[in-house]
């Protein structure tokens, strides 16, 4: 190779690593004619796995689809940048950067939206569909699923005005900050105008989403919002499922309360559990769960935590720990850990930024979190593993309240409360059901924000038989509405049901599950979850996935069985 060619290759390589086409620098024009032949937009660098390009960048028989893959790769990169900005907002950003950060996040949200909601993308999708129909053999199932997801992302955005996206992105991060202060000060007067503005914008968003989805022309505004989080979600089906579960629960709860009223009350924790040691415990537990710290971390925040992150940068955030109760931060870490292991297990090498490589939405996300936090993480065997270790960590040798049996009974004690986050596993559903009913009414207009506190209190009384003392322990306790998450709540209850259904299948496949838990060996559990759920990304919808993994569609029965086994049958 001549010296010039060598130089040419080097520059070509450098040029190809520039992600965005840029103006040709002047000095380039002075070079030889041969050099000038370098095309302005060389293909982006190809990532290789074992010598073969990853699917994201592998050329495809349909050039329009190939172009789509590169566009979505760049959209994914922008989403990754937004995620990183959001994590930083929660954990490290200096106060003085607040205003500029809101602007940065809103700008990025608008840019992502502009990339998604444009006609050229729609044309490429349409042409790719034509190619797929004509040359079906050239499309494997991953590519077809990817194209389907590209279209649904486009549909979520195409009729929404960019100004609305920008406003909502800004307001939702402002909402995190506002909620923190409002909660501290029990400040309903400040919450009211903020929530009113948010509800108005959410209604506008729902209206645009209803317009764009030709598959759900008659859907309600609330369902349109819910589908952002639960892509397969149909309200009618969810109502049937929730009714079935509620009926079963209404029968179980009095029996459980009666049984527990005759048992010894578990001993409360005593003394202080230093925050540093709690963080150490939580990080150790995440390691045990299989969380990869070379691609993520665990951080604390004064804000309410959020789930999320990307497979290469999964930074879990939990609330600053309460030194009187290590079980609280441990619960959050296990919950976020379930999310984190799912995110890290997505098919990132092959499909890093492609829609098919993403998680299946909030309900499946929550199923992974509930499986770890509530279903597996509250089994007696898990406390057998935990108890001697925390006795050592916190230096509480031989204390009765640190025994596996006492910790298990503490975590499975059922008592209706006003507080969702500290609710027990049995009454948790009532908190979701009442929130779902209230937010449906807020979006439809049947309930005004002004009347929310009274409506809230009436619902808690109806479902849990208790009443909050103030706004902070009532309608202001959750961050969701402040960050614009209307339609997210059903995902918790659906996720809990899925978790129980997955676990019942997993117990059949991994027969020594209890022994493994008592030794803290999560590897076989992780492998099962990865093979059956995580590594599949969005290859199929959540309904199809549940059916494939468990042999039947989602029902409330597994969760009811689980509650009966744990709370009524166990000694
Ligand atoms: Zn969660």
Tens digit of pLDDT for each residue in 13-59?
Answer: 544 443 333 344 454 445 444 444 444 444 444 555 555 668 888 88
Tens digit of each residue's pLDDT (9 = 90 or more) over 168-196: 999 999 998 899 999 999 999 999 999 99
Within 273-364, strands assigned E span 296-301, 314-319
Provide the phi-psi class of 532: left if phi over 0, else alpha when psi is between -120 and 50, else beta. Answer: alpha
In this structure, what token pair is assigned to residue 101?
Answer: 């950060």
In this structure, what token pair is assigned to residue 22?
Answer: 């840029």
- 243-269: average pLDDT: 96
* Position 550 confidence tier, pLDDT thresholds 50, 70, 90: very high
pLDDT at 209 over 90: no
pLDDT, residue 35, reads: 44
Task: Kindly give the distance from the C-alpha atom of residue 307 to the centroid of ligand 1, in angstroms, as a whole number.
Answer: 6
pLDDT, residue 146, reads: 97
Tens digit of each residue's pLDDT (9 = 90 or more) over 80-106: 999 899 888 888 899 899 999 999 999
Task: Kindly give the distance from the C-alpha atom of residue 478 to the centroid of ligand 1, in angstroms, as a whole number.
Answer: 13
Task: Kindly give the distance from the C-alpha atom of residue 336 to the centroid of ligand 1, in angstroms, as a whole number.
Answer: 6
pLDDT, residue 497, reads: 98
Dist. CA 489–CA 478, nearest whole Å: 11
pLDDT at 124 over 80: yes
The CATH number of 235-569 is 1.10.1370.30
Dist. CA 275–CA 299, nearest whole Å: 12
Task: Kindly give the distance from the C-alpha atom of residue 310 to the centroid of ligand 1, in angstroms, as a whole number.
Answer: 15
In this structure, what token pair is assigned to residue 505?
Answer: 């299948």
Task: Kindly give the distance from the C-alpha atom of residue 335 to the centroid of ligand 1, in angstroms, as a whole number.
Answer: 6
Q: For the chain, give the mean pLDDT.
A: 89
Task: Kindly give the distance from the C-alpha atom of residue 436 to the centroid of ligand 1, in angstroms, as a whole number.
Answer: 16
In this structure, what token pair is assigned to residue 317?
Answer: 């955030």
* Position 210 confidence tier, pLDDT thresholds 50, 70, 90: confident
Task: Kindly give the distance from the C-alpha atom of residue 362 to the centroid of ligand 1, in angstroms, as a whole number.
Answer: 8
pLDDT at 79 over 90: yes
Task: Kindly give the distance from the C-alpha atom of residue 366 to the centroid of ligand 1, in angstroms, as a whole number.
Answer: 5
Task: Kindly give the distance from the C-alpha atom of residue 252 to the centroid of ligand 1, in angstroms, as a whole number.
Answer: 25
Task: Kindly give the distance from the C-alpha atom of residue 415 to the centroid of ligand 1, in angstroms, as a whole number.
Answer: 22
Percent of the chain with pLDDT over 90: 79
Task: Kindly give the distance from the C-alpha atom of residue 21 to the centroid of ligand 1, in angstroms, as a whole number.
Answer: 39
pLDDT, residue 10, reads: 52
22 vs 66, more confident: 66
Task: Kindly give the distance from the C-alpha atom of residue 339 to the centroid of ligand 1, in angstroms, as a whole number.
Answer: 7
pLDDT, residue 319, reads: 85
**Range name among 315-329, 438-452, 478-492 with the lowest pLDDT average:** 315-329
- 402-423: average pLDDT: 95
Task: Kindly give the distance from the C-alpha atom of residue 308 to the centroid of ligand 1, in angstroms, as a whole number.
Answer: 9
Q: Which of 185, 249, 192 is nearest to 424 (CA)?
A: 249
- 413-426: average pLDDT: 95
pLDDT, residue 58, reads: 85
pLDDT, residue 301, reads: 80
Percent of the chain with pLDDT over 70: 89
Query: Would you say 373 and 496 are in contact if contact means Cβ atoms under 8 Å apart?
Result: no
Task: Kindly give the distance from the C-alpha atom of residue 230 to the centroid of ligand 1, in angstroms, as a whole number.
Answer: 13
Dist. CA 468–CA 489, nearest whole Å: 20
pLDDT, residue 6, reads: 58
Task: Kindly give the distance from the C-alpha atom of residue 528 to the centroid of ligand 1, in angstroms, as a whole number.
Answer: 20
pLDDT, residue 15, reads: 40
Task: Kindly give the distance from the C-alpha atom of residue 80 to the centroid of ligand 1, in angstroms, as a whole number.
Answer: 19
Task: Kindly give the distance from the C-alpha atom of residue 175 to the centroid of ligand 1, in angstroms, as a whole number.
Answer: 19
Dist. CA 58–CA 54, nearest whole Å: 6
Dist. CA 559–CA 375, nearest whole Å: 10
State whether residue 307 is helix, strand or coil. coil
Q: Which of 468, 386, 398 is nearest to 431 (CA)?
A: 468
Task: Kindly give the distance from the C-alpha atom of residue 422 to the centroid of ligand 1, in angstroms, as a whole number.
Answer: 14
DSSP code per residue over 437-470: HHHHHHHHTSS-GGGHHHHHHHHHHHHHS---SS
Q: What is the pTM of this model?
A: 0.89
pLDDT, residue 28, reads: 44
Task: Kindly give the distance from the C-alpha atom of residue 229 to the centroid of ligand 1, in angstroms, as a whole number.
Answer: 12
Instruction: Provide the residue ranges of all domains of the chain, joining segments of one domain with +.
Output: 63-226, 235-569
Tens digit of each residue's pLDDT (9 = 90 or more) over 326-385: 999 999 999 999 999 999 999 988 999 999 999 999 999 999 999 999 999 999 999 999
């Amino acid at each position: 190779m001549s010296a010039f060619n060598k130089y040419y290759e080097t520059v070509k390589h450098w040029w190809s690593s520039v992600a965005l086409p840029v103006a040709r620098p002047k000095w380039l024009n002075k070079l030889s004619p041969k050099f000038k032949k370098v095309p302005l937009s060389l293909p982006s660098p190809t990532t290789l796995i074992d010598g073969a390009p990853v699917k994201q960048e592998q050329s495809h028989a349909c050039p329009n689809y190939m172009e789509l893959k590169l566009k979505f790769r760049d959209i994914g990169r922008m989403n990754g940048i937004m995620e990183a900005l959001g994590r930083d907002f929660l954990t490290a950003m200096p106060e003085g950067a607040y205003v500029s950060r809101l602007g940065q996040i809103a700008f990025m949200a608008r840019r992502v939206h502009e990339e998604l909601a444009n006609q050229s993308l729609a044309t490429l999708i349409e042409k790719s569909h034509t190619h797929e129909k004509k040359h079906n053999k050239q499309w494997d199932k991953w590519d077809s699923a990817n194209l389907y997801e590209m279209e649904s992302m486009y549909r979520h955005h195409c009729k929404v005005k960019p100004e609305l996206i920008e406003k909502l992105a800004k307001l939702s991060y402002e909402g995190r900050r506002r909620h923190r202060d409002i909660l501290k000060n029990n400040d309903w007067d400040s919450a009211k105008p903020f929530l009113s503005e948010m509800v108005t914008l959410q209604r506008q968003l729902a209206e645009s989403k209803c317009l764009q989805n030709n598959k759900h022309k008659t859907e309600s505004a609330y369902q349109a919002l819910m589908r952002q989080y639960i892509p397969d979600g149909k309200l009618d089906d969810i109502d049937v499922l929730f009714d079935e579960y509620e009926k079963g629960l209404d029968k179980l709860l009095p029996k459980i309360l009666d049984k527990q009223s005759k048992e010894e009350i578990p001993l409360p924790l005593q003394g202080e559990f230093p925050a540093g040691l709690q963080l150490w415990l939580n990080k150790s537990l995440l390691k045990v769960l299989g969380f990869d710290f070379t691609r993520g971390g665990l951080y604390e925040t004064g804000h309410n935590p959020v789930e999320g992150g990307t497979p290469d940068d999964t930074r879990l955030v939990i609330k600053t720990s309460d030194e009187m109760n290590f079980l609280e931060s441990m619960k959050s870490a296990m919950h976020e850990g379930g999310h984190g292991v799912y995110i890290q297990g997505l098919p990132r090498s092959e499909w890093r930024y492609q829609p098919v490589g993403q998680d299946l939405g909030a309900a499946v996300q929550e199923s992974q979190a509930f499986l770890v936090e509530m279903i597996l993480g509250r089994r007696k065997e898990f406390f057998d593993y935990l108890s001697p270790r925390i006795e050592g960590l916190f230096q509480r040798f031989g204390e009765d309240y640190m025994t596996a049996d006492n910790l298990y009974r503490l975590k499975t004690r059922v008592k209706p409360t006003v507080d969702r986050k500290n609710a027990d596993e049995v009454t948790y559903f009532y908190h979701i059901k009442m929130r779902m009913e209230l937010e449906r009414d807020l979006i439809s207009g049947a309930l005004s924000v002004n009347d929310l506190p009274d409506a809230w209190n009436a619902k808690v009384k109806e479902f849990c038989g208790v009443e909050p003392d103030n706004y902070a322990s009532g309608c202001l306790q959750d961050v969701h509405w402040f960050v614009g998450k209307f339609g997210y709540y059903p995902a918790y209850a659906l996720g809990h049901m899925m978790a129980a259904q997955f676990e019942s299948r997993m117990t059949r496949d991994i027969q020594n599950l209890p022994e493994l838990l008592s030794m803290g060996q999560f590897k076989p559990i992780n492998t099962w979850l990865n093979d059956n759920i995580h590594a599949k990304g969005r290859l199929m919808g959540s309904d199809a996935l549940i059916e494939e993994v468990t042999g039947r569609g989602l029902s409330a029965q597994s969760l009811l069985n689980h509650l009966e086994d744990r709370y009524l049958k166990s000694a």
